[in-house]
Amino acid sequence: MMTQLTTTQLAAVQAALDAEVPQLLAEHRVPGVGIGVRIGDAEIASGYGVTNLEHPLPVTGDTIFQVGSISKTFVGVVAAQLEAEGLLDIDAPVAPLLAGLGALDERITMRHLLTHGSGIDAQYMIGRAHELLAEHADDSIQASITHYAEDELMFVPGSDFSYSGPGFMVAGAVIERITGKAWADVLRERVLLPAGMEQTFTTADEAITHRVAAPHDITEDEPRLARNEGWQLGWQLPGWDVPGGGVLSTPRQLMRYSQYAAETNDALGFTRVLASRQVPGLDVGYAWMIEPKRDRAAFGHDGLTIGYASRFMMIPEDALSYAILSNSVKGKPLVRAVEGVILDALYGVQQASTVPAFDPEQFSELVGLYDCGFYGQVRLRVRDDGRAFEMISLPANRGDGSFTIDPMSSPWLLPVGEGLLSVDPGIDDPDHLVPYVRNAAGAVTALRIGERIARKVL
């Protein structure tokens, strides 16, 4: 199929990035970002800023970052491979494959795990990680399941959607049991080596001899190195987090991944829709998030770990792929802005859509307190000026020293459609949406914050 984009347009993308990214780094107080863009068989891989504020080196297209939940797409590719080989039935219960690891609900299937439809929550695997990993405890993928296998599920498997990192621990364990190999070895043999991704790793030992971007945060509007601040015991994520977030890669390497994915997807179908994300137009395949980008179907994933924020997307209609890897835990706004630079250079500047006038009385039932579980709570209220909602973050206040992540906050949310609020109305970006949920009687019962269910409690 002929693409609407041409490889010569990469020069325009490069020029736009060179002109705008340095200022965006300064504006968002992010030390560095690596960017890869591919159209057809041509690609660019660039870096801006520095790897480490204390020991700076220039970021390049070959600098290694933690890519976070982009890692989940690799699990989806391997699951599709195993299904095609007749080794995995994604609609069969996985509990029989995990004997000895606890009484996992027998209704859960691989489809549920790959699409965040299992009902597994267990976000305390982050909050209590230091406790669970003390005294050199087993951090293997299979060992993780013993901690939450018997927990009550958030909902009946397959009946809803709520983003679940621990669900990918289970998916990784299933793959290990089917193949008889460790996940890292399966990943290397089945994806990394065939894709030519020799500079993509899962451990610090492998990455240390390469140029690596260090993690950063922002305090009092100033970027700083984030040393030993995550839920993990050091820089490397625990073994059980590797399927869901532990891949280490570069912009150029992810362009190789996009080429491999484009060449194998027709046969494996890992981007076909397996479930809805409970928002019209937003779906999920074999862990690949499916959403519109400039009125085109896009497939990919975001990533977030302590010190890094990233995005990887493919738009097959135009043979376009891009990866944006930043070295700040607060780098998400930068990543979105860089994506905008890329897409504007290729498709033109996106026009803001019309936002209906806000009527507080019409949406008064949304006002209330919502429980985000491990993250704490949020309060949704009408702003004092009456022009929009605001979401106030109420972080969990734990006295046990466990790791916490503040829930989302926003000074401005407006209704943009049935069941939808947006923190940036007028901009067509799923990342800005905060859906709300009604029960059968029509009453508002929850928000979806960061695609996780937050139940209304007051």
Q: How distant is the alpha carbon of residue 113 from its chain centre?
A: 15
Residue 219 burial class via C-beta count within 10 angstroms: exposed 0-12, middle 13-18, buried 19 and up:
exposed
Residues 6+ away with beta carbon under 8 Å from 201: 64, 207, 247, 248, 249
In contact, 218 and 330? CB cutoff 8 Å: yes
| Token pair for 283 | 């779906």
Candidates 72, 150, 76, 160; CA nearest to 117 is: 160
**H or E segment and range at residue 77:** helix 71-84
Name every residue whose Cβ is closer than 8 Å to that of residue 293 and which is 6 or more positions away in sequence. Answer: 313, 315, 343
Comparing C-alpha atoms, which of 379, 365, 353, 363 is closest to residue 454? 379
The second-level CATH assignment, the architecture, of 1-350 is: 3-Layer(aba) Sandwich (3.40)
State the amino acid at position 41 in one-letter form: D
Within 8 A by CB and 6+ apart from 152, the residues are none
- Predicted local confidence at residue 326, as pLDDT: 98
Stretch(es) of the chain classified as CATH 2.40.128: 364-456
pLDDT in tens, 35-47: 999 999 999 999 9
Task: Quote the CA–CA distance of 211 and 152 in Å, as a whole number.
Answer: 43
Q: What integer best gives the mean pLDDT of the chain?
A: 95
Q: What residue spans in the chain does CATH classification 3.40.710.10 cover?
A: 1-350
Q: List b or e across 181-205, with b for residues whose CB sees 16 or more CB atoms inside 10 angstroms.
A: ebbbebbbebbbeebebebbbbeee
Provide CATH code, domain 364-456.
Answer: 2.40.128
| Residues 383 and 370 sit within 8 Å (Cβ to Cβ) | no
* Model pLDDT, residue 353: 77
pTM: 0.96
Q: Is 234 helix (H, G, I), strand (E, B) or coil?
A: coil
State the residue for tokens 């929850």. Answer: 446
Backbone phi and psi for residue 19, each to the nearest 5 degrees, phi listed first = -80, -35
Strands 452-456 and 368-371: antiparallel
Ranges of residues in the chain whose predicted pLDDT is under 50: 1-3
Q: Tens of pLDDT along 366-387?
A: 999 999 988 889 999 999 999 9
Q: What is the pLDDT of residue 341?
A: 98
CA-angle at 26, arms to 21 and 31, nearest 5°: 85
Using left for φ > 0, alpha for ψ between -120 and 50, and beta otherwise, residue 300 falls in left
Alpha helices in 220-364 (DSSP H): 242-245, 251-268, 332-347
Q: What's residue 128's pLDDT?
A: 86
